[in-house]
Amino acid sequence: MSGATSAAFADAFFAAPQVAAALCDDAALRQMCVYEGALARAEGEVGAIPPQAAASIAAALNEFALPVGAAREKLFTDAAKAGTLAIPFVKLLTAAVRARDPEAARYVHYGSTSQDVIDTALVLQLAEALVTIEADLARLCAAAAHLAKAHRDTLMLGRTLLQPAIPITFGLKAAQWLAAGLEARGFIAGAKAAALVPQCGGAAGTLGSLGDKGIDVARRIGTYLPGLHAPRALLPWQTRRGALVALCAAIGIAAGVCGKIARDVSLMMQFEVAEAFEPIEEGRGGSSALPHKRNPVRSMQILACAAQIGPLVGQMLAGLPQEHERALGAWQAEWPVVPQIFKLASGALANAAALLEGLTVDAARMRSNLEALKGLPFAEAFSVALAPKLGRDEAHELVEAASRKVPDSGKTLAELLAADPRVGRHVTLQELAAIGDPHRALGATGAFIDEVLGLWDVVA
């Protein structure tokens, strides 16, 4: 397999290392062990299995070594045949327990089912991955807040539909990034509280094999699973996947926030614009053919991650209609998709945080690009100011005609308007220049920035 398509390259290019590690195959097996240990402990405490059996299972798990080499390959081959990794895994674990305590082997995975261990291991992995994801999202917000504060009054050209609009400040753009990051944090916090809960339902969601002990086992098991939340209801969620899908969607939104930032920065980094630049880093952003280039590689990686997540979240949504008490295909289709969503989002967030932390802002170039338009961004303001004197339609037509002359005239829009007798009899050049003061166009900009910074101060 070529380096450009290998799994190792994909993880290095698209994922934060800690998240890739939390979501690898070995991590899944380790978390399956965590589930089985919690299950045995809970069952032993409520008398669903003999306490000695629970102790033997725990001891075997402490010494359990994940298979390597040929044994590992056989595990995954057997899993493909069985339709789930849980079946060959439980066989391995049972053999390990039997070697220590033959009687206890009868109680491995007792009353549970494949989906319990697979789903619970998954959310344990996601809980671990979220530590890094949320930390990088906090870094992104902190960096955006710093930029918003530092550039609260840094004038630049606002752009709509990729064309010049009216002046804004770079602080306002950064405040929008911060607000989007804060929204994403809220979405993730709410979604993870509902999604990161154990799955404990047994064969068909009744824990029927545990009799009257089932509800006590379900209630206790979560207390031994690090990073998980107490469910709002103990009811198993085998084919009720909304909470997991909502978490994937929240993660997708966070990646989309990163994509918006990357899009803005890469556009500002174009040579012809040159208003902001990714940090200079050894070995990053060069060209194999053009030595002079400074490529926006972090932005490229972010956008590549964000572009893939939308369809993956769509797949999760498409899988919500699941059959009866266990899905035939829809649940299994989640297995590669959920880790990929989290890995891609982690790569986007890690790169976006680093990008904003090291962003170089050229305030002088921002002002120069604004001034190069010779007052055109104030055409609306001039039209509004002249309307009471000339009438709305005539003022609009006059300003529109003057605006077309600006590029070839060498004069500002204010100068062209002042030279027109219809305008000159009502407004002086000095008055027009005051109307074209970019600070007058900022409106509520400062208040907006301060409000978002205040929100950040509350949660930071």
Encoded tokens for 61? 């798990």
CA angle 89, 90, 95 (to 5 degrees): 100
State the Cα–Cα distance between residues 278 and 294, nearest whole angstrom. Answer: 9
Phi/psi at 223 (5° precision): -70, -15
Beta strands in 229-367 (DSSP E): 276-277, 360-361
Return d(Cα 414, Cα 430) in angstroms, integer.
Answer: 9
Residue bearing tokens 């990161």: 196
What single letter denotes the amino acid at residue 50? P
Measure the CA–CA gap between 198 and 41, rounded to whole angstroms: 15
287 is catalytic: yes
DSSP one-letter code for 174: H
Four-residue CA torsion sign, 258, 260, 263, 267: negative
Please, what is the Cα angle at 211 between 232 and 96, to 5 degrees? 90
Of 98, 326, 365, 367, which is the active-site residue? Answer: 326
394-407 burial code (b ≥16 CB/10 A, e <16): ebbebbeebbeebe
Q: How far apart are CA 22 and CA 31, in angstroms?
A: 10
Neighbour count for residue 460 (Cβ, 10 Å): 10
Is residue 387 within 8 A of residue 184, CB to CB? The reply is no
State residue 159 phi and psi, 5-degree precision: -135, 130
- Cα separation, 313 vs 247, whole angstroms: 10
Beta bridge partners of 91: none
Q: Residue 352, Cβ neighbours under 10 Å: how many?
A: 33
Q: CA–CA distance from 276 to each of 84, 145, 195, 214, 282 (Å)? A: 50, 16, 39, 60, 19
- To the query of whether residue 409 is one of the catalytic residues in this protein, the response is no
Among candidate residues 287, 392, 422, 440, the one labeled active-site is 287
Q: Which DSSP letter does residue 165 get?
A: E
Q: Among all residues, which ones are annotated catalytic? A: 287, 326
